[in-house]
Amino acid sequence: MKKNIFIYLLIILATSFVGGCIKDTGNYNYRDINDTWISGLDSTNGYVIYQFDTLKIDPNVKQRIPNKDSLDYTWSISNSGLGNSSVTKIISTQRSLVEPIAETPGNYTLVFKVTNRNTNISSFARASLTILSSSGTGWLVLNRTNSKSLLDIIRDDGRLVRDINAVNGTYSQPPKKLFCLTSGSTFSPESHIYLFSENDGMQLSGANLFKISDYPGMFIQAPSLLKPEYYVRRQSPGLEFLQNNGDIYIKSSNTVSAKLGQKALIQNSNYKSGRIIVAPNSLVIPLVIYDELNGRFLYMGSGFTPDLLPFMATPNAVFDMNNIGNKTLVHFDKGASSRIYSILKDRNNEKLFFYSFALSGFVPSSINAPVSVNEIPVSSNMTNASTFAMYEPSYAINNFSSFIYYAIDNNIWMYNTINFTSQIIYQFPSGSKISVMKMRTEGTSNNIYVGVNNTANEGSIYKFSFTPTGFFTGNTYTSVRSGFGAIVDIAYKDR
């Protein structure tokens, strides 16, 4: 019996062996894996680019069996850090990368992914990407070309960045005024940028020039008539003041998201501000305005209440700060220390007058004394001026002397507040027109920046420095930057 069982087992094993040797005639397809290799990305040093500049990379993609039509490409950036392939944004689906980079300045990971559609196998290449702020510090230039408004910047390092907020540069109305304020804490300052048109406006982030808010959104409750005019900031305490259609609105927070709230009022009276002047930080009062409605100067109290107040009368003063007469404001400016200067036009006879007064540290006080009032000669042609600026040399601090600069067509005039005379001190080529002038103290020197439009669509920015007597150093400009559209306004961004 055991012998038979053994024989049966041998027969089964032999049958299995023979069956295994029979040729397999099944229909099978075998393919080589088409590997893909990527090179040409600088994964060692990575890439550094300014925001809004175009990143260009032309990688090498090789396959074991060339078939480029089977490949899909994806470029993406991630802010998750190197070594993490999570995708935050796809920026291109082309093999060669040629894309403007608009992301917020910072450190990112750049990922290039190549996928074989036939095998669904992907290959990756990664590199670090550092995006620097294109704005930085420098002069913002609001200009216009062929009905398109542009915001450019002349950086302090000399680099010119055109159309810096291209991704957000759409305006319901062409902006006419540009303001840049520095706010935030001492350890974390930031810039707020404001563009105002006739009846609209917007707030931009100083970090990336992205739109933060439209004009109505800047208020807790927007006024019924939108007419933005001026925006200023008092650093200490942190207060911002917006003039809208002659009314003053106050923002008392350093944060970007804070909104304009209370409207400044005056007891038992009305007012219409012609222009806001922020008093020096050394003084208790934060704000001075000229009241167009009643022909007087007003100030704001401690800054923690929205009350506008009249100045205390000064005995035997050269003029009454509470009764200027039927005059409208032409120019309002402040000098070093505590001096305020204004040019007013008599509505009855078009005559111009120069007023100056000094503020004390505490108001009300008789120390807030009117200093001088003088009629400006007709020969000054100042009634035709389009823009103003003021320079006050250091030696002038104790005698309240300064120089007022104003533009008429292609000429820069200087009004000397010491001897009350005017003269042309610089002339641009015939046919050009000065659109804006702004002062800036840079180190120990004071400079004036002048926007000049050579044609309807082409302008330049000129820089002049001063001699102690108010004239331009060398009687000419020290530098010029061209290639802008027609210059509308300029403002310095220091953050």
CA–CA dist 491, 478 (Å, integer): 19
- For residues 358 and 341, the answer to whether their CB atoms sit within 8 Å is no
Amino acid present at 393: P
Which residue blocks in 133-208 are alpha helix, DSSP H?
A: none
- How far from chain centre, in Å, is Cα 139? 9
- Per-position pLDDT tens, the chain of length 495: 545 555 555 555 555 544 454 455 555 454 555 678 899 999 999 999 887 788 999 999 988 878 777 899 999 998 854 444 455 789 999 999 999 887 877 889 999 999 998 888 899 999 999 988 776 789 999 999 888 888 999 988 888 888 876 545 566 788 999 999 876 555 456 788 999 999 999 998 887 777 889 999 999 999 999 999 999 988 766 788 999 999 999 988 766 678 998 899 888 889 999 999 887 655 667 789 999 999 999 988 765 567 898 988 888 889 999 999 999 999 999 876 678 899 999 999 999 999 998 886 544 444 567 888 999 999 999 999 999 999 887 655 445 568 999 999 999 999 998 888 999 999 999 999 999 999 998 888 889 999 999 998 999 999 999 998 899 999 999 999 999 999 999 999 987
Residue 477 has φ and ψ, to the nearest 5°, of -85, 160
First to last CA, the chain: 103
DSSP 3-state of 168: helix
Q: Is the pTM of this model over 0.85?
A: no
DSSP string, 235-287: TTTTEEEEEETTEEEEE---STT--B-PBPB-TTS---EEEEEEPPTTSS--E
- Using CA atoms, how far residue 254 sits from 209, 219, 240, 278, in Å, is 18, 15, 9, 17
Q: What is the chain's length? A: 495
CA–CA dist 52, 19 (Å, integer): 72
